[in-house]
């Protein structure tokens, strides 16, 4: 009786986990920029995998299998958000553009590494980003900084 209930519950958990994993996949395909895609993959994907591993723990025949599944859930829930955050922070620093519909950019002004005259700077047309990314590159000093022997950012 209880074994049948655990099997049914495990089946429901696997279906729910598969639904979350499918939502994560659709989010990766449909969302507009790298950062929202990473959000979908890390959040919905980790919940989906966690639910499936919980189903595995419920139907495991041995305690060691159930404990490994629970340890995997904890490991996955602890590492996925941290790794997604670090990847998004590195992508932001590398200059990946935010979606045009983004309302707020809460990163500090110096967090983005930009080359003077890059496409992002030309599209936005503001000289302040040049001054933030390279303080010596001001409106008056653009020619001087272009001829300097400093290594250029990629």
Number of separate domains in the chain: 2
Q: Does residue 139 sit within a domain?
A: yes
d(CA 70, CA 58): 10
CA 97 to chain centre: 14
Residues 52 and 16 in one domain: yes
pLDDT of residue 99: 86
Domain residues for 122? 109-147
Residues 82 and 50 in one domain: yes
Residues 75 and 118 in one domain: no
Q: Does residue 100 sit within a domain?
A: no
Provide the H-helix boundaries in 31-133: 34-59, 63-94, 119-124, 128-133
Residues 32 and 86 in one domain: yes
Burial 73-83 (b: 16+ CB within 10 A, else e): beebeeebeee
Residues 115 and 43 in one domain: no
Q: Does residue 102 sit within a domain?
A: no
| Start-to-end C-alpha separation, the chain | 64
pTM for this predicted structure: 0.66
Exposed (0-12), middle (13-18) or buried (19+): which is 44, by Cβ within 10 Å?
buried
Residues 57 and 131 in one domain: no
CA 90 to chain centre: 10
| Per-residue confidence in pLDDT tens, the chain, 154 aa | 888 999 999 999 999 999 999 999 999 999 998 888 998 889 998 999 999 999 999 999 999 999 999 999 999 989 998 999 999 888 888 888 888 888 777 777 767 665 555 555 545 544 444 444 444 444 444 444 444 455 555 5
């Amino acid at each position: 009786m209880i074994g049948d209930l655990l099997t049914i519950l495990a089946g429901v958990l696997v279906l729910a986990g598969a639904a979350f994993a499918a939502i994560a996949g659709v989010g990766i395909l449909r969302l507009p920029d790298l950062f929202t895609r990473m959000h979908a993959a890390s959040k919905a994907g980790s919940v989906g995998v966690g639910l499936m591993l919980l189903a595995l723990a419920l139907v495991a025949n041995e305690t060691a299998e159930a404990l490994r599944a629970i340890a995997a859930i904890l490991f996955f829930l602890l590492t996925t958000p941290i790794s997604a955050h670090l990847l998004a922070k590195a992508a932001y620093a590398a200059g990946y553009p935010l979606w045009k519909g983004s309302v707020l950019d809460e990163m500090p002004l110096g967090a983005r590494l930009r080359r003077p005259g890059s496409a992002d700077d030309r599209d936005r047309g503001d000289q302040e980003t040049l001054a933030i990314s390279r303080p010596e590159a001001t409106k008056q000093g653009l020619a001087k900084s272009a001829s300097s022997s400093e290594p250029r950012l990629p």
